[in-house]
Amino acid sequence: MKLSAEQLARHLPKQLAPIYWVSGDEPLQVMEACDAIRARARDSGCNERLVFNVETGFDWGTLSAARDTLSLFAEQRLLEVRLPSAKPGEQGAKALVEYAARPPADDVLLVSSGKLDKATQRTKWFAAVERAGVMVQVWPLEPARLPAWIAARLRAQGLQPDQEAAQLLAERVEGNLLAAVQEIEKLVLLHEPGPLDAAAVAAAVADSARYSVYDLADRALAGEAAAVARILNGLRGEGAELTLLLWALTREIRALAQMAAAVRSGTSQERVFAAHRVWDKRKPLVKAALQRHRPAAWQGLLRRAGQVDRLIKGQRPGNAWDELLQLALALAGVAVLPAAMTV
């Protein structure tokens, strides 16, 4: 069975399937869907939880062994598999088919992964899991829906935002739902329940941490190398998450790669900006970045971002902060060492 995130919320109070697979590229919605499944599993008696992180060299036999082994305390269990690549490989596909053929009566299997493409959804293992359980596909929130999504979250916390307040916060987070939730939590702490206007949102934004992921991306687009190094160092000191910082830079690089290719094919820059919903205040930054790099260079930056991602996940050696700095400086137009040479 396939369900959307909204349908999952209506499904869980009624029943608990033996298998759930949550996939998508939007971290917050994937996380919240998994949290809802975990909570429902706990309520049903799953008091033991086993977590399997699928990385290079992972032995899928451990999942099969867990399926065939009773809990030491004869309790129901939640078996959680975290699969970043959304590709289980040959061994994983076999293990999933076998598990789906005879899932334990009392256990719940929860798999979380990146987006499953159409080819993957035609595989034997996908069909087996879908027959035995629930596939939850998470889709990114469309930009036009973000202000309403933010307003609903604020109202759920007792605040009553006006239209300008929700729109201003949507512009601030630019599609990053994790950042939106952080800003909402801050507003809840700063304000009593009741009306919330744009001025209050603007004041809260100005009172944010000294450095932000948005500052890093903007200074990199502007080509301000010294500011990039200073901000990244500050973010590191504040305990920022590497994954979030890489996400912000990769998001800009991917969008700029697409825009550069469109402009090179003959599409006017203004039409490209409109298609990619580039805010007016960001157009100077985007124009500067497009002038700084040739179209082919953007693909090189994307490859470099992929290498940093693998480093963060422990799939290659090196210092993640150093390589993230190299990526940000390269985006800013500074000649840096090849990724393979950084440590």
Mean pLDDT of 70-90: 78
Task: Reply yes or no on whether the pLDDT at 183 is more than 60.
Answer: yes
Same domain, 31 and 45: yes
Mean pLDDT of 294-322: 89
Same domain, 161 and 219: no
- Of 89, 123, 138, at which residue does a domain stop? 138
Q: What is the pLDDT of residue 67?
A: 79
Q: For residue range 9-30, what is the model confidence (pLDDT) as tens digits? A: 899 999 999 999 999 878 888 8
Q: What is the pLDDT of residue 217?
A: 87
Same domain, 163 and 129: no
- Residue 96 pLDDT level (bands cut at 50, 70, 90): very high
Count of the separate structural domains present in the chain: 3
- Residue 278 pLDDT level (bands cut at 50, 70, 90): confident
CB 295 within 8 A of CB 260: yes
- Of 98, 121, 138, at which residue does a domain stop? 138
Same domain, 282 and 300: yes
The 46-53 sheet, strands edge to edge:
2-3, 134-138, 19-24, 108-113, 76-83, 46-53
Same domain, 84 and 148: no
Same domain, 171 and 271: no
- Residue 207 pLDDT level (bands cut at 50, 70, 90): very low
Same domain, 336 and 283: yes
Q: What is the pLDDT of residue 343?
A: 36
In which domain, by residue range, is 126 found? Answer: 2-138
Give the CA distances from residue 288 to residues 27, 43, 224, 283, 304, in Å, rounded to whole numbers and listed in that order.
30, 54, 11, 8, 21
Residue 336 belongs to a domain with what CATH number? Answer: 1.20.272.10
Same domain, 134 and 147: no
For β-strands 2-3 and 134-138, DSSP reports them as parallel
Pick the more confident residue, 239 or 306: 306
- Of 102, 123, 138, at which residue does a domain stop? 138
CB 134: neighbour CB atoms within 10 A? Answer: 22
Residue 24 belongs to a domain with what CATH number? Answer: 3.40.50.300
Residue 2 pairs in a beta bridge with 135
Residue 180 belongs to a domain with what CATH number? Answer: 1.10.8.60
Whole-prediction pTM: 0.56
Give the residue ranges of DSSP H helices in the chain. 5-11, 27-43, 61-68, 89-101, 124-132, 146-156, 163-173, 177-190, 198-206, 213-222, 225-237, 242-264, 269-275, 283-292, 295-312, 320-331
Same domain, 50 and 74: yes
In DSSP notation, 125-185 reads HHHHHHHHSEEEEE-PPPGGGHHHHHHHHHHHTTEEE-HHHHHHHHHHHTT-HHHHHHHHH
Q: Phi, psi at residue 210, to the nearest 5°?
A: -60, -40
